[in-house]
A and B are shown apart, each in its own frame.
Chain A
C-alpha cells in the first residue's frame, strides 16, 4: 500500500453500490431500449400477421367416406346437411327421404314421402327450406323439409346420453343430440311436412319445377310432359271455421318455340326476384324470358351456352342471389353467365360469360353456397372442385371415388362439402378462409356481376346478404396518387422557391422570424386544414371557380411584372430599399389576386361560354377555352426556355454597353413579347386540338363536384409546404459558406451563385425534402377524409372527388367485423400505405445521409 497525500488509505475498489447501479442501469436501458425498438417494429409485423391469412389457400380436412346404406340406383334430387354438420338428407327421385349420420354414416331413418302418386319433379329453397313437389298426375304439393334445432336440458335425458362428453353425439327419439355445455344439449331433427296436394287441370305429369320469392310473393315455374312451360302463383286461403287451408293457383303460360327441338327443355330456372325465367336444353340453347309482367311473359334473348358442336350442356345451377347461372358442359368447363348492359346500349341486357372454370371431366353436379359466391362442381371421373366465382380462385380439387359424382352439396355454413357417388357418400370439412381475395382480385380489373366488362371497383359492403363484395384496391390507390400528385404540383414549387429565397436572398433578421413561423405550421393539426378545406374553401371555390383558376396564372405573373417594374426604378432608389424588397413581393400577392378577380368575368365569357359550371358539365361551349387555360402554363415554360436558349446569351453580349434603364426596358419588352408568344402559342394549340376533336372535358376537366381534387390539392399542398420548406432550407443553408464566397468573389451575381453553385450542391437534400413531403401526402388522412368527397372513382377530373387508402381505412375500419375478409383487406391497405411511405422515407433518408457526408467533405 502506497501512502496517499491525506494519510488515509486509498480505496482502490469501486463501491459495490456503484458497480451494482452501473450494471443494473446498463441492463435496464439495454432491455428497455431494445424492447422499445422491437415494440415499434411490431407495428409492421402485426399488420402483416393480420393481412397474411387473406392469401392462404382454403383449408380442407381429410375426407371421410361413408358407405351408403344401400347402393341406390335411384337419382338423388336433393342433398343437404344441417347447420352443425351432424346429419344429412338425400331425397331420391322415387320419393324416398333418407337421413344418415355424418359422423358414423349410420342410417337414421328412411321414409317414403309420397304414397298416393309418383314424384316427378322437386325443388327446394335452401334458405327457407320450402319445397315444391310435382307428381305424375300433374298435381303439386307444397311443404317443407328442414332440420329443426332445439335445446334440451340434460336432466330430461336418459343416463347413457348424459354421460356424453362435450361435443359428443348420440341418438334420441329420432333426433341427434350433441352436448354443447354442462347442462345443455342441442337436438337436431329432420322434419318433412307437406300441405294438401293442389290438383291440376291437365293430367300431364310435372317434369321440372323451380321457385323464387318475388316482391309480390312466392312464384314458381313449371314444365309438364306436354312441354307447356308455365308460371304459377299460389294464393293460400284459410277457412276460419274449419281451419282448412286451400291453395289456389293462377297460371300464365310462357310461349316458346324452338324449331330444332322436339324435346322440352332439360332445365328451368327462376331468378332470385322471380323476374326472369331461364329454360335450357342439353345442346346448350338457353331462352331467357322476362316475367315481370305475370300475365305476359316475353322472350328476351336466345343464346347458345355451349357453342362448340361436340359438347353438351350437362349441369345448370344458379349462384347465390340467383342472378348468375353456372353452366357445366361435357368437357368439364363451367361458365358463369349473368345479364349485363352492353357497353354501347343501356336499353337491354344480354347474358355474358364472365368466368370460366375448367375441370377434368364432364360436369355432372353443381352446388352453390348459400352465403358467398362459391360453388362446388362434381365431375364424371369422381372428382370434385371448389371454386370462388368472383376471384376465379380454385379452392380445392378433391377425389370422391372413381364413379361419376351424382350430387354435391355445401353445408349451410360453408364448413362442409358432401359428394354423392353411386356407391359412396363422401364428406370433407372445409374452411374456405378468404376465397374472394387473390392478388389479382385486389389489383386487376375483376368481372363483377352485372357489369359488361372487368372493372376496378371498391365496394365493400351493402345492405343485402347476396351482395358481391368488391375489393379492388386500385380505385383507392388511384385516389391516393391523385391527391398526392395535385398537392405536390402545388406544394413543391412553392416550398422549394420559398426555401431558395429564404436561404439565399432573405436578410438574416427576417429569416430569424419567418422560418420558425413556417416551421410552426408543420404542427398545425390536419383536422383543422380538413375542416377549412371542406367547410370554408370548398364552397368558396365553387362560387368563384374562374377567379381561382385565374389566380394560378395572375399571381406568378404579378411577381414577374413586379420584378420588371423594380428594375425600371432608378437604381439609387432601389438600393436602400433592397432589404424591404420582400415586402413588395408580399404586396404582389393581393395585386395578382385582384387582377384575377377583375379579369375572371371576361375569362369566363371568353373561355367557358359565360358559365363555367355548365361548361364543365359539357352542356355549353367548346373545348377551346379549357385547352387554352390548360396549355398556358406549358407554353409559358416553353417560351421561357426558348428565350433563355436563343435570346438571352445574345442579348447579354449585345447589352454590354447599354445603361441599366435601357436594359431594364428591354427586359420588360422581352417579357411582354414572351408572354404574348406564350398566349398565342396556347391559343393556336388549343384551336388545333379543338379542330382535331379533343376535349379536356371527360379527362382532366369534368362535372364539378364541390369536394374535389383542386381543393384537396391546394390544402394538402399547404399542409406539406412547411416540411418540404424546412428540410430544403436546412439543406441549402448547410452548403458551406466558402463556396458562396468563392463564387461571389469570382464575380458571379447572387442569383448565379444560387443557381449554379448552391442548388446543385444541395440537390440531394432538396430531393430528400420532396420525398419526405411525398410520404406525408400519401398518408395524409383527415384532409382527404373531409374534403375529397370519398367516392372511390377512377377519374383524372380535377373537379371530382376520390377516395384514398387512408380515408377508406378511417371510414370503414370501425364498422368492419373483426377478422372478416373486409377487416383483413383494410389491414392489407394499411400495410400497403406503411410500405409505400417506408420506402419513400428510406430513399429520402439515404439520399440525405449521402448529402450530409458530401457537405461535410466540402
Chain B
C-alpha cells in the first residue's frame, strides 16, 4: 500500500514514457496527514512523560538551599520550580523567579515564597538544614539547636542533637501509633456499642412507645451499657493521657533560617532528615520509605501529605463490587440477545440503544444514581430497616454500594457489546455440531459457546473495570468523599459496610488539584496519585488488549 510500489514501477520501467508526476503524489498532503498523527503522538508522549516525571520525582528528597537576598532576607527551603515572568514596571522586562517551599507556616504564615533571581545575593547548601515532616502545620525547615528530654537539655550541638533525635524518635513514633490505635479503634468500638444500645432503645420506642414496659426494660439495659462504656472510656482516656505525657517529654529545639527559635514535640514529627547531607543510598532509602507511606498510609494535612491508602482501597473495592454486579447481568443480556431472542427489528433496535448508552455522558448516570438509588431506593430501605437511626440516613445517601451499582449501569453496555462480539465470533458450525451430537441448547451454550467466548467476556469485564476505575463525575454525586473516616471493609461485623461513603483515586485527584487550600503543596501529590491511577488503568487496558489480540488471532472474526 505504501507509495513505494508505484514509485519503483515508474523508476525501473524505462520503457514507459509516461512518468508519474510529482504533483500527483501529493507529498505535502501526505505530510499533513502524517502531521496529524505526529501531533497526536507528541501530545500523548508529552502528557505521559509529564505525569511520569512529576509522579516519580515528587517523593525524591530534594536539597535544601539557603538563599540570601540583596535586601537581607534569608530563605531556607526546597526549590519547587523556576519560571520567567514579566515585570509590571516600564520598560517591560522578562525576569526569572524561583518558587521556594519555605514551610514554617506557624511562624511565617506562608508555605511558599517567590524569590526573584536578580535579587539573590548568596546561595548556600547548609550542612545541618533539617527537613521536618510534621503531623500538622506542614513542613518545617530549620537547624537543630538542642534536644530536651523531660526539661533537661541533653544535647546542644547539631550532631549530638541529630543523634539524640534518631535515638528517641522511633519509640516516640511507636507511642504515637499506639495513641492513634486507641483513639480510633478502641474508642470507636465503645462508641459503636453505645450507639447500638441507643438504636436498640429507639427501635423499642418506635415499636411499643415511650414509657411502655418493654421500653423500660430496654432503658435499664441502655443505662447499664452507658455506665460500662463511660468507665471504659475513662480508663482509655487515662491510658492515652499517660502516653501523651510520656511523649511530651521529648522536645526538639530548632532555629529557623531567620534566627527564630522554636520547639517541636518529637511526637509531632513524622520524619526528619538533614537533606544536604544525605548520601545517594540515604536518598534512595528515604524515597522508598516515602513510597511505602504513600501507598499504605492514611492521608494527613488535608490530604496534601501522607498516603492514599484509603483511596486505593476504595477504588479497588468499588471496582470489584461493580464487576460483581455488571458481569452476570451483562453476560445474561448478551446471551439473551444473541442466543435466545429471535433476531428481528426489535432486537436490533435494542442493540443500537445499548450501543448508544455507552455514549451517554457519565454524569447522567450519576444523576440517575443519586435520584434513584440514594433518594428513592435507599430512603425506602432506611424506612423499612433503619427506622431507628432516622432522620440520619443510612442507605438514603451516597455510598459505595450505590456508587458501584451506578457504575455497573454505566459499564453495562461495554460488557454486553464485548460479550455479544465474542459470542458471534463462535462459529455456528460448532453449535450445530453440538446439536447434532444431541446436546441441548443450554448444554451447547455451557460447554461449547461460553468457553470459546470466555476471553472476549473477560476483555469486556476488564474494559468495564478500567472505565469504572477512571470515572469520577458520577461518583461525585453518589458517594465519593474527600476524607472517609472508615473503610468500607473492616473487621467489624458485618465486615462489608455497603452504605459507607468512600475515597476514590480519581476523586482524590479532583479534590486535591481543584479544591485544596494549599494547592501548590498538594500539586506534587496529585501527580503521584495520577501516576498511580494511570498505571492501574493502563495495566487493566493492556490486559484487555492482549486478551483481545489473542482472541482475534484464535478465531477470525469481522471486527468493526
Interface segment among B43-51, B260-268, B276-284, B300-308: the answer is B43-51
Instruction: Collect the chain B residues with CB atoms within 8 Å of residue A500's CB.
Output: 33, 36
Contact assessment for A22 and B443 in the assembled complex, using a CB-CB cutoff below 8 Å: yes
For residue A578, CB closer than 8 A to chain B, the reply is yes
The B-contacting residues of A in range 832-858, CB under 8 angstroms, are 833-834, 837-838, 840-842, 845-846, 849, 852
Question: Per-position contact with A for B355-372: 1 when CB-CB < 8 Å, else 0?
Answer: 111011111111110111
Q: A507-B2, A520-B538 are in contact. List 4 more A-B contacts (CB 8 A).
A: A18-B443, A498-B36, A655-B22, A806-B361
Interface segment among B170-178, B226-234, B241-249, B333-341: the answer is B333-341
Q: What is the bound-complex CA distance between A750 and B440, given in angstroms?
A: 53
Question: Per-position contact with A for B533-560: 1 when CB-CB < 8 Å, else 0?
Answer: 1100110111001000000000000011
Instruction: Collect the chain A residues with CB atoms within 8 Å of residue B339's CB.
Output: 29
Q: Per a CB cutoff under 8 Å, which of A514, A516, A776, A778 touches B41?
A: A514
Q: List 6 A-B contacts (CB under 8 A).
A: A33-B340, A502-B37, A527-B509, A531-B526, A589-B42, A663-B21
Contact assessment for A22 and B441 in the assembled complex, using a CB-CB cutoff below 8 Å: yes
Q: What is the bound-complex CA distance between A523 and B352, given in angstroms?
A: 22
Question: Per-position contact with B for A21-63: 1 when CB-CB < 8 Å, else 0?
Answer: 1101110111011111101111100110010000000000000
Interface segment among A120-128, A258-266, A563-571: the answer is A563-571
Contact assessment for B513 and A749 in the assembled complex, using a CB-CB cutoff below 8 Å: no
The B-contacting residues of A in range 405-421, CB under 8 angstroms, are none
Instruction: Collect the chain B residues with CB atoms within 8 Å of residue A524's CB.
Output: 470, 534, 537
For residue A451, CB closer than 8 A to chain B, the reply is no
For residue B77, CB closer than 8 A to chain A, the reply is no
Contact A527 B32, CB 8 Å, known A755-B26, A830-B367: no
Chain A residue nearest to B549 in the complex (CB): A516
For residue B124, CB closer than 8 A to chain A, the reply is no
Question: Per-position contact with A for B468-484: 1 when CB-CB < 8 Å, else 0?
Answer: 01111100110000000
For residue A751, CB closer than 8 A to chain B, the reply is yes
CB distance from B419 to the nearest CB of A (A): 11
Chain A residue nearest to B367 in the complex (CB): A830
Chain B residue nearest to A578 in the complex (CB): B4
Question: Per-position contact with B for A577-599: 1 when CB-CB < 8 Å, else 0?
Answer: 01101100110111000000000
CB distance from A46 to the nearest CB of B (A): 5
Contact assessment for A498 and B40 in the assembled complex, using a CB-CB cutoff below 8 Å: yes
CB distance from A41 to the nearest CB of B (A): 7
Contact assessment for B27 and A567 in the assembled complex, using a CB-CB cutoff below 8 Å: yes
Q: Per a CB cutoff under 8 Å, which of A506, A785, A813 touches B37?
A: A506
For residue A532, CB closer than 8 A to chain B, the reply is yes
The A-contacting residues of B in range 186-216, CB under 8 angstroms, are 209
Chain A residue nearest to B26 in the complex (CB): A751
Q: Per a CB cutoff under 8 Å, which of A525, A585, A725, A834 touches B360?
A: A834
For residue A730, CB closer than 8 A to chain B, the reply is yes
Instruction: Collect the chain B residues with CB atoms within 8 Å of residue A840's CB.
Output: 359
Contact assessment for B330 and A36 in the assembled complex, using a CB-CB cutoff below 8 Å: yes
Chain B residue nearest to A566 in the complex (CB): B27
Question: Per-position contact with B for A721-738: 1 when CB-CB < 8 Å, else 0?
Answer: 100010000110110000
CB distance from B348 to the nearest CB of A (A): 8
For residue A683, CB closer than 8 A to chain B, the reply is no
Q: What is the bound-complex CA distance between A696 and B420, given in angstroms?
A: 52
Chain B residue nearest to A651 in the complex (CB): B23
Instruction: Collect the chain B residues with CB atoms within 8 Å of residue A43's CB.
Output: 357, 360, 364-365, 368, 409
Chain A residue nearest to B534 in the complex (CB): A528
CB distance from B127 to the nearest CB of A (A): 35
For residue B24, CB closer than 8 A to chain A, the reply is yes
Q: Per a CB cutoff under 8 Å, which of A518, A556, A730 touches B559?
A: A730
For residue B496, CB closer than 8 A to chain A, the reply is no
Contact assessment for A496 and B36 in the assembled complex, using a CB-CB cutoff below 8 Å: yes
Q: Per a CB cutoff under 8 Å, which of B35, B83, B329 touches A559?
A: B35
Q: What is the bound-complex CA distance between A611 and B416, given in angstroms?
A: 55
For residue B506, CB closer than 8 A to chain A, the reply is yes
Instruction: Collect the chain B residues with CB atoms within 8 Å of residue A505's CB.
Output: 1-3, 30, 33-34
Instruction: Collect the chain B residues with CB atoms within 8 Å of residue A19's CB.
Output: 440
For residue A114, CB closer than 8 A to chain B, the reply is no
CB distance from A403 to the nearest CB of B (A): 48
CB distance from B196 to the nearest CB of A (A): 27
Contact assessment for B30 and A730 in the assembled complex, using a CB-CB cutoff below 8 Å: no
Contact assessment for B340 and A827 in the assembled complex, using a CB-CB cutoff below 8 Å: no
Q: What is the bound-complex CA distance between A251 and B59, given in angstroms?
A: 72
Question: Per-position contact with A for B41-84: 1 when CB-CB < 8 Å, else 0?
Answer: 11110010011000000000000000000000000000000011
Most chain A beta carbons < 10 A, residue from B35, B371, B466, B530: B35
Contact assessment for A30 and B356 in the assembled complex, using a CB-CB cutoff below 8 Å: no
CB distance from B450 to the nearest CB of A (A): 11
Q: What is the bound-complex CA distance between A144 and B332, given in angstroms?
A: 70
Instruction: Collect the chain B residues with CB atoms within 8 Å of residue A624's CB.
Output: none
CB distance from A612 to the nearest CB of B (A): 11
For residue B223, CB closer than 8 A to chain A, the reply is no
Contact assessment for A497 and B514 in the assembled complex, using a CB-CB cutoff below 8 Å: no
Chain B residue nearest to A744 in the complex (CB): B6
For residue A826, CB closer than 8 A to chain B, the reply is yes
Q: What is the bound-complex CA distance between A495 and B356, given in angstroms?
A: 21
Interface size for chain B: under 10, 10 to 19, 20 to 34, or 35 or more residues?
A: 35 or more
Chain A residue nearest to B328 in the complex (CB): A32
Instruction: Collect the chain A residues with CB atoms within 8 Å of residue B47's CB.
Output: 532, 718
Q: Per a CB cutoff under 8 Å, which of B209, B477, B537 touches A814?
A: B477
For residue A782, CB closer than 8 A to chain B, the reply is yes
Contact assessment for B352 and A846 in the assembled complex, using a CB-CB cutoff below 8 Å: yes
Question: Per-position contact with B for A793-805: 1 when CB-CB < 8 Å, else 0?
Answer: 0000000000000
Instruction: Collect the chain A residues with CB atoms within 8 Å of residue B157's CB.
Output: none
Question: Lowest 5 A-B CB distances belong to which pairs?
Answer: A779-B361, A33-B336, A497-B36, A525-B470, A751-B26
For residue B426, CB closer than 8 A to chain A, the reply is no
For residue B385, CB closer than 8 A to chain A, the reply is no
Instruction: Collect the chain B residues with CB atoms within 8 Å of residue A841's CB.
Output: 355-356, 359-360
For residue A752, CB closer than 8 A to chain B, the reply is yes
Contact assessment for B530 and A42 in the assembled complex, using a CB-CB cutoff below 8 Å: no
Q: What is the bound-complex CA distance between A501 and B30, given in angstroms?
A: 7
For residue B354, CB closer than 8 A to chain A, the reply is yes
Q: What is the bound-complex CA distance between A854 and B136, given in angstroms?
A: 67
Question: Per-position contact with B for A524-547: 1 when CB-CB < 8 Å, else 0?
Answer: 111110111011100000010000
Q: What is the bound-complex CA distance between A50 and B369, given in angstroms?
A: 13
The A-contacting residues of B in range 338-394, CB under 8 angstroms, are 339-341, 350, 352-357, 359-368, 370-372, 375
Q: What is the bound-complex CA distance between A562 and B29, given in angstroms?
A: 11
Chain A residue nearest to B341 in the complex (CB): A33
For residue B497, CB closer than 8 A to chain A, the reply is no
CB distance from A828 to the nearest CB of B (A): 10
Contact assessment for A535 and B513 in the assembled complex, using a CB-CB cutoff below 8 Å: yes
Contact assessment for A837 and B340 in the assembled complex, using a CB-CB cutoff below 8 Å: no
CB distance from A352 to the nearest CB of B (A): 38
Contact assessment for A527 and B361 in the assembled complex, using a CB-CB cutoff below 8 Å: no
Contact assessment for B35 and A588 in the assembled complex, using a CB-CB cutoff below 8 Å: yes
Chain B residue nearest to A765 in the complex (CB): B560
Question: Per-position contact with A for B1-39: 1 when CB-CB < 8 Å, else 0?
Answer: 111111110010000000111111111111111111111
CB distance from B552 to the nearest CB of A (A): 12
Q: What is the bound-complex CA distance between A46 and B339, given in angstroms?
A: 30
CB distance from A233 to the nearest CB of B (A): 44
Q: Per a CB cutoff under 8 Å, which of A493, A559, A671 touches B34?
A: A559
Chain A residue nearest to B28 in the complex (CB): A563
CB distance from B150 to the nearest CB of A (A): 46
Instruction: Collect the chain A residues with CB atoms within 8 Å of residue B209's CB.
Output: 182
For residue B442, CB closer than 8 A to chain A, the reply is yes
For residue A64, CB closer than 8 A to chain B, the reply is no
Instruction: Collect the chain A residues with CB atoms within 8 Å of residue B367's CB.
Output: 47, 809, 813, 826-827, 830
Q: Per a CB cutoff under 8 Å, which of B26, B333, B537 touches A752?
A: B26
For residue A669, CB closer than 8 A to chain B, the reply is no
For residue B92, CB closer than 8 A to chain A, the reply is yes
Contact A660 B513, CB 8 Å, known A43-B368, A514-B41: no
Contact assessment for B336 and A837 in the assembled complex, using a CB-CB cutoff below 8 Å: no
Contact A586 B38, CB 8 Å, known A29-B336, A813-B370: yes
